[in-house]
Amino acid sequence: MKFIKTNPTNLFLFLITLSFFSCKNDTDSDKIKSEFEFAWENPTLEIKQRVSLLIDEMTLEEKCSQLLDICPPIERLGIPEYNWWNEALHGVARNGRATVFPQAIGFGATFDEDLVLKVGNAISDEARAKYNEAIKINNRSRYAGLTFWSPNVNIFRDPRWGRGQETYGEDPYLTSRIGVSFVKGLQGNNPKYIKAAACAKHYAVHSGPEEFRHEFDAIVNKKDLFETYLPAFKALVQEANVEGVMGAYNRTLGEPCCGSPYLLQEILRDKWGFDGYIVSDCGAVSDFHRFHKVTKTPEESAALALKSGTTINCGNVYSVLKRALNQKLITQELIDERLKESLLTRFKLGLFDPIGTNPYDAINPDVIDSEKHRKLAREVAQKSIVLLKNDNNVLPLKKDIRTAYVVGPNASNEEVLLGNYYGLTSSTQTILDGIVSKVSPGTSINYKSGVLPFRKNVNPIDWTTGEAGQSDVCIAVMGISALLEGEEGEAIASSDKGDRTSIKLPQNQIDFVKKLKKNSKNPVVLVLTGGSPIAIPELHDLVDAVLFVWYPGEEGGNAVADVLFGDVAPSGKLPITFPKSVDQLPPYVDYNMKGRTYKYMEKEPLYPFGFGLSYSKITYNNIEIDSNLLVTVEISNNGDIATEEVCQLYISSPLAGTSDALFDLKAFDRITLSPKETKKVTFQLNKNTFKQINKEGVPTLRKGEYTIYAGGALPSKRSLDLGASTPATTKLQF
């Protein structure tokens, strides 16, 4: 041992100083303990430090218990129960009173990022208000928390998928932009706390069939994986800092999505830098050994999920983590690592802080289904409604029309306002309600359903079509509801576990509309509800006007009437292609993009992606692109009605239609145009805008001539035939 000589005076001063700091630290520690029973409760400490302090206090059993979706209380540490499973797809869902916004597919139809940002903010305000009230009555049940498993940014690649209504459509760019806005609104912008935790689902390559989702292997090539299925998830991670990601039920490229090192580690965490929590879809980890057969026991399944990156198991397989540890399938260090990921989210939500510390604790229940939020729901519905046909300018209708007749199973049906994953409200406005409230008190308006939703009438007597045919206008409200399309077990009228083997309108409704038109000399306006494409080739040429209104939320009836009677001009655009029939589609189980969506579908659809008419005549002219890749285009409203227009910018690469997509949406902007007004719209592009994904999955700038289109719909012949404006076009050489 080596001794160091020192001056006695210096040694004395050193010992005095050491004694002082030792006493000071003891005093600070005592002070912390006097204010907080546990050091980790101190909100002035860094969150990561608090998480580590808490984990140090926990037993192995306690740690494992907090990796399930239902986290039991740890009373000795003062930790209350928490349930991770909460929903907010288009409003706080499955948890009582809340504003019911239009279904998510309607968000896509607005092409309006700013509007969706407001919606996300409104939803999280209501979520915080409801949570603040719930903990006062010790309601910590499922759906009453703040970790929301929304949004669904899967690509609606096939219109047969029952859950496509939950998505923003078939295009990865549109899905990315709407999804980023929704997440930013939901999570808020406080530098310390998140208002509510969003979760991007279902990662990845997931879009049916519902019947096989627990056992299916989605085989996809690298080009389609990185061009179509992953961009929205990447955008939510890197641009919106989404707090959570949910793994899908299915396998992708042979690996179960919740147990895939390739998806969860190599891509999500390593390449994209994701640092939030990963949750399994509910029951997905048990699918490993029950259906996918990639493991033999629950212990092996738990180990595979935990090692691959799944933080929270929605289900009960993680209840065997201790046994998996004893079998040396996992380590305690890995359990601690996953626990840190989950606790960080709960701390960022402020769930362990004294009430009043978090600014969101002050949000009160007055915001829940408030007048402000109902107005916002109405605006979203208005902007999502798509005008598909308007012969001879039948629409807008006059409010002082002499006689009107409303028919159809969905006219007075509240079910069609809701879609799936919805909240509850006492202020729903059906489409019939909206129409009746809009017309003059002197108008003779009548209503009969006339036809059952999905099957032939039992009673053959028809008292409807004759009467309706005598009116000045007949408004037929047809379509489908979430009873027919939806998730595996939710669509109780579906014979295919929520999916649709046929995308046509139910035959009894087709027959009824034909009879209605046959008996009427005056206009018939067809209003369709639904969350997915409905093929109506037999009716398009027959009726005078067609409106597609989705599942338009609690104010949907008022919004539909606003458009029908001209208080608001229609401005929604289709976020998904409407084929003429399933005969135009590849096999449902085929995840290759060839022949799918507007990008790769060569057959002529019924209604193209991006299509939607206006009450005015819109034209596009004088498109230019400068050396800095700034695109400028002039858009004119040549009509007499003020309107909003969604300008869409597409490109086609030199290999369009062979190695690359036919068209590729790269930008859009919603603008307001007064009558006879012209505006210049600009889009700042860059070289990355023009890069295409090659067969190795790598972005590549093709050499040759690119075509750039700016217009109000997909730049196709079918769009023009249906009445869309001619796009402005220019070229660019690389």
pLDDT at position 438: 98
The answer to whether domain 38-367 and domain 385-573 are alike in fold is: no
* pTM, to two decimals: 0.94
Q: Is 281 a catalytic residue?
A: yes
What share of the chain in percent tops pLDDT 90? 95
What band does 2 get if pLDDT is binned at 50, 70 and 90? very low
Q: Which of 41, 281, 544, 669 is catalytic?
A: 281
Q: How far apart are CA 297 and CA 288, in angstroms?
A: 9
pLDDT for 71 beyond 80: yes
pLDDT at position 94: 97
- Mean pLDDT of all residues belonging to the chain: 95
Q: What is the mean pLDDT of residues 325-344?
A: 98
Q: What is the mean pLDDT of residues 349-370?
A: 96
Question: Over the stretch 704-733, which tens digit does the pLDDT of each residue have?
Answer: 999 999 999 999 999 999 999 999 999 999
pLDDT at position 113: 98
Q: How far apart are CA 356 and CA 595, in angstroms?
A: 55
Q: What is the mean pLDDT of residues 140-168?
A: 98
Sheet holding 545-548, edge to edge: 386-390, 545-548, 524-529, 473-479, 403-407, 444-448
Question: Over the stretch 498-549, which tens digit does the pLDDT of each residue have?
Answer: 999 999 999 999 999 999 999 999 999 999 999 999 999 999 999 999 999 9
Task: Collect all residues with Cβ–Cβ distance below 8 Å to 712 and sequence separation of at least 6.
Answer: 573, 610, 612, 614, 618, 620, 645, 646, 647, 648, 724, 725, 727
CB-CB contact of 230 with 257 (8 Å) = no
pLDDT for 279 beyond 90: yes
**Class of CATH domain 385-573:** alpha beta
Q: 618-733, what's its fold? A: Immunoglobulin-like (2.60.40)
Taking the alpha carbons at both ends of the chain, their separation in whole angstroms is 73
Q: How far apart are CA 450 and CA 475, in angstroms?
A: 12
> Which residue has tokens 């990639």?
294
pLDDT at position 385: 98
Q: Which of 62, 243, 299, 485 is catalytic?
A: 485
The CATH code belonging to domain 38-367 is 3.20.20.300
Question: Over the stretch 163-178, which tens digit does the pLDDT of each residue have?
Answer: 999 999 999 999 999 9
Q: What is the mean pLDDT of residues 359-383?
A: 98
pLDDT at position 484: 96
Full DSSP string of 555-611:
THHHHHHHHHTTSS------SS-B-SSGGGS--TT----TT-HHHH--SPPSB-TT-
Return the domain boundaries, the chain. Answer: 38-367, 385-573, 618-733
What band does 35 get if pLDDT is binned at 50, 70 and 90? confident
Q: Is 645 a catalytic residue?
A: no
pLDDT at position 36: 86
pLDDT at position 10: 44
pLDDT at position 28: 42
Q: What is the mean pLDDT of residues 207-233?
A: 97
Which token pair is 418?
């809701």
pLDDT at position 476: 98
Q: How far apart are CA 471 and CA 464, in angstroms?
A: 11
Question: Over the stretch 677-704, which tens digit does the pLDDT of each residue have?
Answer: 999 999 999 999 999 999 999 999 999 9
Angle at 194 between CA 191 and CA 196, to 5 degrees: 160
